[in-house]
């Protein structure tokens, strides 16, 4: 990261996401989102001429890209994940900071540090790089965004919601309130369904939980744990399928107000006691939370039973307040 904004213009070549149409010469019809980005950070754009006419305008940059590729990416690096690959490239950048260009006395890192104070400061808030969309929720409490489906709370079925679509995330709002957040799908036709969005419906139709697609997704993501399954099995064995499933749904609703760790601790305590009551799980979950908090400071009590040597209450402060208001 540069830590600031370059002053004046930033030169671009073939930046298709920023351009809607190439006009004459360097003129471009820019994407409104790109214009918003420039306005947020306070810089202008300079577009190189297309084709051979603009080849000399960016030769140094393309030459540097080739040098970096030959030095750090030949042979092609292998990484377990995109995050690991980015870490490798970050390390390569750090190595290059100690490089000297030709016969220059200062390193690349020293030159960058010398120029850093010339940058304009970054704005106080980050730019929200997201497309604004409006979607209607279908009967299955889903919205379709870029041919992929995402769940929202079932109470919003048939209503219209506002979607902020980022590069790898998706936020859903209704009347300005955030109601859902998903990781953006990379494939068309996929479904990202959160079990929490369907709990109110399943409370009235508990028999649908066992075959619910959202439950399959919750198991795959680890949200629905072995502890939840043990509670469900025990509850169905003691109370039957319908009432046992309703007890599980009551426990799942606790995740909206209590940390996951506390709810799981409450589940374990309830199952160990042989009772599958959501209220008991809630009590044990709050007890687990309290056990990790500092004990309340309690004043010392005299040894003699029933003796209280605390000073009697007084309203002097309240009387002073009344006199000040008068």
Least confident of 100-104, 199-203, 305-309: 305-309
Number of domains in the chain: 3
Is position 125 within any domain?
no
Domain end residue (candidates: 168, 192, 216): 192
Is position 322 within any domain?
no
On whether both 136 and 113 belong to a single domain, the answer is no
On whether both 16 and 111 belong to a single domain, the answer is yes
Using the structure block, give the residue that is written with the tokens 């994940």. Answer: 81
Please report the beta strands in 87-237, taking only residues with DSSP state E, as ranges in sequence order.
131-136, 142-145, 148-151, 160-165, 169-174, 177-183, 191-192
Is position 171 within any domain?
yes
On whether both 32 and 75 belong to a single domain, the answer is yes
**Looking at residue 297, what is its pLDDT?**
40
**Looking at residue 307, what is its pLDDT?**
42
On whether both 86 and 143 belong to a single domain, the answer is no
Mean pLDDT, range 274-302, rounded to an integer: 75
On whether both 102 and 157 belong to a single domain, the answer is no
**Looking at residue 304, what is its pLDDT?**
40
Is position 183 within any domain?
yes
Residue 323 confidence class, pLDDT cut points 50, 70, 90: low
Q: Provide the domain limits for residue 152.
A: 131-192
Residue 185 confidence class, pLDDT cut points 50, 70, 90: very high
CB contact at 8 A, 207 and 194: no
CB contact at 8 A, 185 and 205: no
291 or 39: which leads in pLDDT: 39
Q: Tens digit of pLDDT for each residue in 42-97? A: 999 988 887 777 667 777 777 888 899 999 999 999 999 989 999 999 999 999 99
On whether both 136 and 37 belong to a single domain, the answer is no
CA torsion 313-315-318-319 (nearest 10°) is -170
On whether both 174 and 212 belong to a single domain, the answer is no
Is position 1 within any domain?
no
On whether both 88 and 141 belong to a single domain, the answer is no
Is position 254 within any domain?
yes
Q: Is the pLDDT score of 204 beyond 70?
A: yes
SS3 state of residue 20: strand
Is position 4 within any domain?
no
DSSP 98: T
Model confidence, pTM = 0.67
- The phi and psi torsions of 144 (rounded to 5 degrees) equal -105, 120
On whether both 19 and 92 belong to a single domain, the answer is yes
Measured CA to CA in angstroms, residue 212 lies from 151, 182, 217, 230, 258 at distances of 13, 19, 9, 18, 24
On whether both 87 and 146 belong to a single domain, the answer is no
Is position 318 within any domain?
no
Q: Is the pLDDT score of 216 beyond 80?
A: yes
């Amino acid at each position: 990261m540069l830590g600031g904004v370059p002053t004046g213009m930033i030169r671009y070549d073939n930046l298709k996401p920023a351009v809607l149409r190439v006009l004459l010469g360097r003129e471009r019809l820019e994407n409104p989102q790109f214009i918003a980005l420039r306005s947020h950070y306070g810089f202008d754009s300079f577009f190189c001429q297309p084709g051979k006419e603009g080849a000399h305008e960016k030769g140094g940059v393309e030459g540097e890209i080739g040098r970096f590729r030959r030095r750090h990416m030949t042979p092609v690096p292998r990484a377990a994940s995109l995050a690991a690959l980015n870490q490798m490239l970050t390390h390569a950048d750090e190595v290059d900071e100690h490089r000297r260009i030709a016969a220059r006395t200062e390193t690349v890192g020293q030159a960058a540090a010398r120029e850093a104070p010339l940058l304009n400061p970054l704005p106080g808030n980050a730019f929200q790089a997201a497309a604004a969309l409006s979607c209607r929720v279908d009967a299955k409490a889903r919205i379709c965004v870029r041919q992929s489906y995402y769940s929202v709370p079932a109470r919003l079925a048939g209503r219209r919601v506002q979607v902020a679509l980022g590069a790898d995330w998706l936020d859903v709002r209704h009347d300005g309130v955030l109601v859902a957040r998903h990781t953006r799908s990379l494939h068309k036709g996929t479904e990202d369904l959160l079990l929490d969005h369907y709990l109110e419906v399943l409370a009235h139709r508990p028999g649908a939980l066992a075959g619910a697609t959202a439950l399959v997704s919750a198991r795959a993501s680890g949200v629905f744990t072995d502890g939840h399954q043990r509670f469900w099995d025990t509850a169905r064995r003691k109370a039957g399928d319908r009432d046992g499933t309703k007890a599980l749904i009551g426990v799942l609703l606790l995740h909206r107000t209590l940390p996951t760790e506390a709810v799981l601790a409450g589940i374990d305590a309830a199952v160990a006691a042989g009772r599958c009551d959501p209220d008991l799980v809630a009590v044990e979950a709050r007890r687990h939370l309290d056990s990790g908090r500092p004990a309340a400071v309690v004043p010392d009590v005299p040894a003699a039973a029933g003796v209280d040597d605390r000073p009697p209450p007084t309203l002097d402060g309240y009387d002073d307040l009344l006199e000040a208001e008068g």
